[in-house]
């Protein structure tokens, strides 16, 4: 059986490259091993979790140039392995390369623009809010996930040795996902917990925060205004008048900074806000109006284009999925309790049998007249 932890970087026949880590030999990193083992995941635009605690993906893309603006209701950790990515988070733009790790909390809008210089490879880990709450019973875990949100620290750069260690732990999870051997689930959960502990330990002291790229002050003010006024008029003409600037200049600046038009950005933000309201049980018409859609018909068409179904059907599917997850969680707890009871009963039976056996051995060792008196 091959052992992942014995994998080492392999020297190539390429000259020394003075990279971000200082002088080094170009190496075939451990994630090349994952590609040979066919552990890559085809890229998908799915933004909902199908598992209760976490999901892990290894992506390797040659032609992907852009991931549209989106958000989700879970934590997303991205471990950047190769390529150069411009990651926009809540209007701030970060340039991410190998050695960077981004943690994006639930509800935070983000998108990726990828430079086509080399393969874009990364590990992506989805962590449910329930799993994070479970981990946060530990003060150390609670501190780290709070630091990722208030005030937000989205991207950190990790030094070479620690980054490699974390990649190997993630690799162990990837292998167990396809191996299904004895204790596979436990190995996955333990490896993830250890990786998160390493990440937590060095988050504050031994990492370098990746600062957002410098951006026009006007754009930052515009993004904040849009977030606070989704239910109001956010047309290009209205925004240009609000910020005392030409609408053509504003449109050009926004597209250069965000990679999309103001109209598309506002539409995405409104749809995300409306979908959250719909999921909470808000009347569909009210959700549409509160989030800035003048008519329900325009909201309905935009929602169908974005989600591929009507708002009512989408809400029903989401509620069904949450009910299924709750049922699965309840079933898992019941199975655990039943297994625990069976183990306890089995242990008691063995102890009883051992006591009877010991008593029989003692009686056999006594003289016949002594044994008959007992």
**Bridge partners, residue 78, by sequence:** 102, 124
In the sheet that holds 110-114, the strands lie side by side as 66-70, 110-114, 85-89, 92-96
pTM, entire model: 0.56
Pairing of strands 155-158, 75-82: unpaired
**pLDDT at 326 (0 to 100):** 64
CB 152 within 8 A of CB 94: no
The model's pLDDT over 284-328, given as tens digits with 9 standing for 90+, comes to 999 899 999 988 999 999 999 888 889 988 888 888 877 776 666
The model's pLDDT over 80-103, given as tens digits with 9 standing for 90+, comes to 998 888 888 877 788 888 889 898
> What is the CA angle 135-140-141, rounded to 5?
30
The model's pLDDT over 221-272, given as tens digits with 9 standing for 90+, comes to 888 888 888 889 999 999 999 888 888 888 888 887 777 788 988 998 888 8
**Bridge partners, residue 89, by sequence:** 92, 110
Residue 158, SS3?
strand
Rounded to whole angstroms, the Cα distance separating 140 from 200 reads: 7
Rounded to whole angstroms, the Cα distance separating 197 from 174 reads: 18
**pLDDT at 16 (0 to 100):** 32
Tell me which of 25-29, 128-132, 210-214 is least confident: 25-29
Rounded to whole angstroms, the Cα distance separating 80 from 114 reads: 12
> What is the percent of the chain with per-residue pLDDT over 70, rounded to a whole number?
70
Q: Tell whether the model's pLDDT for residue 5 goes beyond 50.
A: no
From the CB of residue 19, how many other CB atoms can be counted at a distance below 10 Å? Answer: 13
Core vs surface per residue 181-190: b (16+ CB within 10 A) or e: eeeeeebbee
Rounded to whole angstroms, the Cα distance separating 149 from 136 reads: 14
Backbone conformation region of residue 330, classed left if phi is above 0, alpha if psi is from -120 to 50, else beta: alpha
């Amino acid at each position: 059986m091959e052992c992942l932890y014995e994998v080492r970087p392999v020297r190539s026949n390429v000259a020394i490259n003075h990279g971000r880590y200082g002088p080094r030999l170009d190496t075939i990193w451990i994630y090349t091993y994952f590609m040979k083992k066919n552990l890559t995941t085809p890229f998908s635009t799915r933004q909902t979790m199908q598992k209760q605690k976490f999901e892990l993906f290894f992506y390797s893309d040659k032609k992907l140039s852009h991931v549209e603006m989106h958000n989700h209701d879970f934590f997303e950790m991205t471990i950047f392995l190769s390529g150069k990515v411009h990651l926009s988070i809540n209007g701030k733009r970060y340039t991410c390369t190998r050695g960077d790790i981004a943690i994006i909390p639930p509800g935070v809008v983000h998108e990726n623009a990828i430079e086509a210089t080399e393969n874009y490879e990364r590990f992506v880990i989805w962590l449910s809010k329930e799993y994070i709450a479970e981990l946060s019973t530990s003060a150390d875990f609670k501190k780290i996930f709070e630091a990722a949100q208030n005030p937000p620290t989205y991207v950190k750069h990790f030094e070479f040795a620690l980054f490699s260690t974390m990649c190997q732990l993630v690799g162990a999870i990837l292998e167990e996902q396809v191996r299904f051997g004895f204790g596979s689930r436990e190995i996955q959960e333990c490896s993830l917990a250890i990786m998160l502990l390493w990440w937590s330990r060095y988050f504050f002291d031994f990492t370098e925060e990746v600062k957002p790229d410098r951006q026009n002050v006007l754009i930052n003010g515009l993004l904040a205004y849009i977030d606070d006024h989704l239910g109001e008029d956010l047309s290009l003409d209205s925004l240009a008048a609000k910020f005392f600037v030409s609408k053509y200049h504003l449109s050009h600046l926004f597209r250069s900074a965000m990679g999309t038009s103001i109209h598309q950005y506002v539409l995405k933000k409104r749809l995300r806000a409306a979908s959250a309201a719909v999921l909470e049980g808000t009347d569909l018409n009210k959700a549409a109006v509160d989030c800035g859609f003048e008519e329900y018909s325009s909201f309905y068409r935009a929602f169908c284009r974005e989600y591929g179904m009507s708002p009512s059907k989408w809400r029903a599917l989401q509620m069904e999925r949450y009910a299924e997850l709750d049922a699965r969680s309840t079933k898992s707890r019941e199975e655990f309790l039943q297994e625990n009871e069976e183990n306890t009963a089995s242990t008691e039976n063995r102890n009883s049998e051992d006591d009877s056996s010991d008593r029989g051995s003692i009686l056999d060792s006594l003289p016949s007249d002594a044994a008959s008196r007992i």
